[in-house]
Chains A and B, each alone.
Chain A
Amino acid sequence: MSSPAPLAAAGHVGEGFFRERNLENLPCQAKETELFCWHWATQNIGRYGAPTVQHLEIVVLSVLIGFTVAFALALFAHRSRWLQPPLLAATGVLYTIPSIAFFFLLLPVTGFGRDTAIIVLAAYTLQIIYRNTLLGLANVPPSVTDAARGMGFTRRQILWRVELPLAIPEIIAGLRVAVVSTIAIATLAVLISAGGLGTEMYGSNLNFPTAIIIAGAIVILMALAFDLVLLTVQRLTTPWRRVRPR
Chain B
Amino acid sequence: MSALPLASFGGAIEFIFTPQESNVTGGKKVGGVDKSVELVIGHLEVTVVALALALVIALPIGLYLGHRGRGELLAVGIGNAGRAIPELAVIALVATLIGVGMRNVAPALALLGIAPIIVNAYVGVRQVDPAAVDAARGMGMSELSIIRKVELPLAVPTVMGGVRGAAIVIIATATIAPLAGVETLGDFILNRNVYGENGLLAGAILVALLALIIEGSLALLQRFLTSDGLKLKTV
Contacts and interface: CB of A to CB of B under 8 A. Distances in A.
A141 B83 CA distance: 31
B189 interface: yes
Contacts of B176: 100, 188
A187 B176 CA distance: 12
Interface in A210-244: 212-213, 215-216, 219-220, 223-224, 227
Given A100-B204, A113-B2, A213 B96 contact: no
Contacts of A53: none
A98 interface: yes
A: contact size bracket: 35 or more
Interface in B92-141: 92-93, 95-97
Contacts of A212: 89, 92-93, 96
Given A33-B97, A206-B92, A212-B92, A99 B172 contact: yes
Contacts of B1: 111
Contacts of A209: 93, 96-97
A206 B95 contact: yes
Given A32-B96, A201-B92, A206-B92, A105 B208 contact: yes
A207 B96 contact: yes
B84 interface: yes
A99 B168 CA distance: 10
Interface stretch (B5-13, B19-27, B30-38): B5-13
A202 interface: yes
Contacts of B97: 33, 35, 209
B87 A184 contact: yes
B77 to A, nearest CB: 11
Nearest to B219: A92
A154 interface: no
B119 to A, nearest CB: 10
A144 to B, nearest CB: 22
Interface in B178-235: 179, 186, 189, 200-201, 203-205, 207-208, 211-212, 215
A15 B212 CA distance: 59
Contact of A187 (B5, B88, B201): B88
Contact of A96 (B5, B88, B212): B212
Nearest to B215: A96
Contacts of B208: 97-98, 101-102, 105
A101 B83 contact: no
B88 A202 contact: yes
Interface in A7-39: 32-33, 35
Contacts, number: 139
A98 B168 contact: yes
A111 B3 contact: yes
A139 interface: no
Contacts of B58: none
Nearest to B1: A111
B4 interface: yes
B95 A96 contact: no
Contacts of B205: 101, 105
Contacts of A201: 86, 88-89, 92
B86 A187 contact: yes
A177 interface: yes
Contacts of A227: 80, 84
A63 B57 CA distance: 32
Nearest to B3: A111
A183 interface: yes
B190 to A, nearest CB: 8
B85 interface: yes
Contact of B168 (A35, A95, A202, A206): A95
B171 interface: yes
B158 interface: no
B211 to A, nearest CB: 5
24 contacts: A35-B97, A93-B212, A95-B168, A96-B215, A98-B211, A100-B175, A100-B189, A101-B208, A103-B204, A104-B200, A108-B6, A108-B9, A111-B2, A111-B4, A180-B83, A180-B84, A181-B83, A184-B87, A202-B92, A206-B179, A209-B97, A212-B93, A215-B86, A224-B84
Interface of A: 32-33, 35, 92-93, 95-105, 107-113, 176-177, 180-181, 183-185, 187-188, 190-191, 197-198, 201-202, 205-209, 212-213, 215-216, 219-220, 223-224, 227
